[in-house]
Amino acid sequence: MDSELQVALIGAGAALVVLIVAYNKWQERKHRRRAEQAFKSDHRDVLLDPQDEQAAAARVEPSFDGESGGEREPSIGAAPSALRPVRESTVRRSVPEKPTELDARADCIIMIEAIEPLDTPRLWASQQEQLAGLSKPVRWYGFDDASNLWRELDAHNAGAYHWFCAAMQLVDRGGPIGEADFARFSGGIQRVAEQFFAVPAGLPARVQALGGATELDRFCADVDVQIGINVVAATQPFAGTKLRGLAEAEGMQLADDGSFHMYDEAGNTLFTLANLEPALFALDGLRSLQTHGITLVIDVPRVANGAACFERMMQLANHLADALQGVVVDDNRAPFGADAATMIRSQIAQFQERMASHDIPAGGPLARRLFAI
């Protein structure tokens, strides 16, 4: 009997538990349906349905003071586009173009970007140490952000810049750069940049730089022509004082190289007048100088209009010959007449036309650098 009673009680307890669980489930479902009906609406949620963006944007939300219109604070009813997060863009300085004075054919160019403005005197002192011993000239520039221009730098500049540009000339009359120059320049610029936590940009390729230098030097050698004519004494040597008077009367000036120069309006040399004998012209020595000849020379790649300059030089040579009782001759001491002058003018024109075809106009800034004395 006891065992049957226990079994009956256990069964009744289990049934009661099932009823309680079922009742709880029923209550839960009933409350869920009521909640869904309470929140059910025929209006679309513009935050979820993009089709109603225009309607939401046009709807005027009630203001706190009961008035509509005018400016208001953004509300939940604002269009979704107004609620999108705005990403702040960081301002980056773009790499400036190389200075217009430089030419990729003739210059090995490396730019340096400094995170903070770098004082020019500090950079200048460092580059002097790192680039010492180069056989070619190096030019430095700093980029002025305010004027958006490159400023050529020297030891006397005191500005500070984010961008710097270093350019080593690849070719001059001494020939092209070699392996040692390239390694010293590129390595030196990198060390300068590292010293100031700056970043070198656009490091040139060694093979390309050296190959371009060799090719450019070959072209320059083909057009590197200087033409001279001489005025020699027929009987008496030329007095230095008279030579000076005649040269200065024609507008020539005595330069530090010991020769008289004829300059154009920009200060560029058109041709020179020098002593045919070893002694150089000097103001202190012209009073006692006696010479048996002088030579006038035109540097063809370095003058803009070679034929016209040569004609002017010939006129001066003939004038000097008449005034000094001399004779105009070539380097072989043969008389230099009109036929020879015509042939020389034609050759000058051919050389300068060839330079122009290679986009290196005679007498231009690039030509004067490549054919620097």
Domains 107-220 and 224-370 belong to one CATH topology: yes
Q: What is the pLDDT of residue 95?
A: 83
**Phi and psi, residue 199, nearest 5°:** -125, 120
DSSP state of 138: E
Q: Let me know: does 207 contact 119? Beta carbons within 8 Å.
A: no
> How high is the pLDDT of residue 357?
97
Q: Are 243 and 286 in contact (CB under 8 A)?
A: yes
Residue showing tokens 């390239």: 182
CATH number corresponding to 107-220: 3.30.1400.10
From first to last of its 373 residues, what are the pLDDT tens digits of the chain?
Answer: 555 656 566 666 666 655 565 556 655 655 555 545 544 444 444 434 444 444 444 444 444 344 444 443 444 344 444 444 444 434 455 789 999 999 999 999 999 999 999 999 999 999 999 999 999 999 999 999 999 999 999 999 999 999 999 999 999 999 999 999 999 999 999 999 999 999 998 788 999 999 999 999 999 999 999 999 999 999 999 999 999 999 999 999 999 999 999 999 999 999 999 999 999 999 999 999 999 999 999 999 999 999 999 999 999 999 999 999 999 999 999 999 899 999 999 999 999 999 999 999 999 999 999 999 7
Dist CA 100 CA 165 (whole Å) = 12
Q: Where are the domains of the chain?
A: 107-220, 224-370
**Where do runs of H (alpha helix) occur along 135-201?**
179-195
Residue 201: the pLDDT is: 85
Helix 179-195 to helix 206-223 angle (10° resolution) is 130
Q: What is the pLDDT of residue 51?
A: 47
Q: What would the two tokens of residue 278 be? A: 């070893």
pLDDT at res. 24:
63
- Provide the token pair at 221: 């050698």
3-state secondary structure of 5: helix
Contacts of 29 (CB under 8 A, 6+ apart): none
Strands (E), 26-179: 107-119, 138-144, 149-153, 160-169, 171-172, 175-176
In degrees to the nearest 10, what's the CA dihedral of 8, 13, 14, 17? 160
Give the pLDDT confidence score for residue 286 in this predicted structure. Answer: 95
Superfamily covering domain 224-370: ZipA, C-terminal FtsZ-binding domain (3.30.1400.10)
